[in-house]
Amino acid sequence: MARKPLLSGNWKMHHNHFEAIQTVQKLSYLLTDADYQAVDVSVHPPFTDLRSVQTVLESDEVPVALGAQHCHWESKGAFTGEVSPPMLAKLNVSYVIAGHSERRDLFGETDDMVNRKVKAIFAAGMTPIMCVGEHLEEREAGTTEERVSSQVRAGLAEVGAEQAAELVIAYEPIWAIGTGKTATTEDAQAMCAEVRGVVRDLYDSSVATAVRIQYGGSVKPTNTAELMAQADIDGALVGGASLDPDDFSRIVQYHRGE
């Protein structure tokens, strides 16, 4: 059975822990029980904010899931500057982004590294949000489907069907991130359908139905409802608009049809 849509706010390298507390508190004031019944919500602050945000969410009993933006695949070791999945799990992190395009492009993360992370996140009892997407030159060359399909297959290597059914996959056209450009609704739907088709090929229809596929790339309050109305889009990975609790709450509340 398909799960509720998941709206995830990726704060990237923004907000110190004071700002993060204010943001999540204001977001909690803007969202209602009806919103939480309709959709799942997660926020992904920088590592330095995780403990502060966790404290607010738990002490105020806010039904927003805590997420992280990245992790290493090893549980411990001589990896200066890295954070392990078990460390995140101890903070009650629920979702961890793996293979965001900025990690792939700026820090050289490969498909194999993303696969290691996906398996390590599952092993620590959390859910990966595995990102896939193409560059503008790949889209212009007509290799979008090939590139995205290969990322999905590589990321799910040696991942069992039970875990795959719990996975979140975020399709994020790299050329649309932070540019104000968004894939057309038709293109976004087509690519999310492509992702689901690859999952179906790797496993079966029940896993393909269960997996949640997010769209990411300049998601705003003005385009969320149209994107979310598509058959194969089960949520959104929101960047800049999630930094403003007013904007992010409106994105979460797309289901109201206002």
Integer angstrom CA distances of residue 185 from 49, 148, 192, 193, 250: 34, 17, 11, 12, 19
Q: Which residues, in sequence order, are CB contacts of 92 under 8 Å at separation 6+?
A: 54, 58, 66
The verdict on whether 134 is a catalytic residue reads no
SS (H, E, C) 207-248: HHHHCEEEEECCCCCCCHHHHHCCCCCCEEEECHHHHCHHHH
- DSSP H or E stretch at residue 190: helix 185-202
- Give CA–CA dist 198/196, Å, rounded: 5
Annotated catalytic residue within 15, 44, 100, 134:
100
Residues with a known catalytic role: 100, 172
